[in-house]
A = this chain, B = another copy of it.
């Protein structure tokens, strides 16, 4: 299929924008909008119309000149490109504050993931329930992976524990990681699919922006 064949040339920046398009088109659908032009998308999203046409052309293009895009078809297609229809199996490792928040707060099912297990090494947590799951011991994780073949592990463990856990998970065949630790997974395992959320870096970036804004307004 053309869409798949063209994929390797898609830039990281385009990939980053796809979830935004997907969300945006969902909000249009919820408001009953069925058809939209690239110019309208551009205005509402603060991008240029040509950027939007370029982005969507990366995947074969879905618009008809002069008619705009069918919102439902375009959204479904972007969802397919994102793999949201695949139902990837995810486990969550580390049921501390962050792990529990992710399990409770993130809508896995609506983002194409099926959360199938939560693990922790703390005996006080094992057996208790979080987000409808009974927390399992990390001692069982290899066996669990053999039986249920998760595609993705959400890592919400301390950075000190990450290297050992990662070695275990990679050996057990887990190749996708949603990484909340500050550990550089790709450095050790470049063949994995890794998406990292570095909250401390994000907070330092905010500090820079606040500081910068303040100095600029003082100079005005």
Interfacial residues of chain A within 191-205, with CB under 8 A of chain B in the complex: 191-195, 197-205
Interface window among A18-26, A63-71, A118-126, A133-141: A18-26
Whether the pair A207, B86 counts as a contact (CB closer than 8 A) is: yes
Main SS of the interface on chain A? helix
Instruction: Report whether A203 and B111 are in contact in the complex, using a CB–CB cutoff of 8 Å.
Output: yes
Q: Please report which residues of chain A, range 175-220, place their CB below 8 angstroms from some CB of chain B when the two chains form the complex.
A: 175-178, 182, 184, 187, 191-195, 197-213, 215-216
- Asked if A36 is at the interface of the complex by the 8 Å CB criterion, the answer is no
Instruction: Please name the residue on chain B nearest to A186 by beta carbon.
Output: B46
Chain B residues closer than 8 Å to A104, beta-carbon distance: 97
Find chain B residues with CB under 8 A from A205 CB. 15-16, 18-19, 82, 195
Cβ of A152 < 8 Å from any Cβ of B?
yes
User: A60: CB under 8 A from chain B?
Assistant: no
Query: Could you tell me the distance between the alpha carbons of A113 and B209 in the complex, rounded to whole angstroms?
Result: 13
A83-97 to B contact mask, C-beta < 8 Å, 1/0: 110101000000011
A206→B152 contact, CB < 8 A: yes
Q: Is the CB of B100 within 8 A of A204?
A: no
Known A96-B105, A97-B100, A97-B104; contact A202-B195, beta-carbon cutoff 8 A: yes
Contacts of A215 in B (CB 8 A): 4, 7
Q: Given A8-B216, A23-B200, A88-B210, 6 more contacts at CB 8 Å?
A: A7-B215, A15-B209, A102-B199, A107-B200, A111-B200, A195-B202
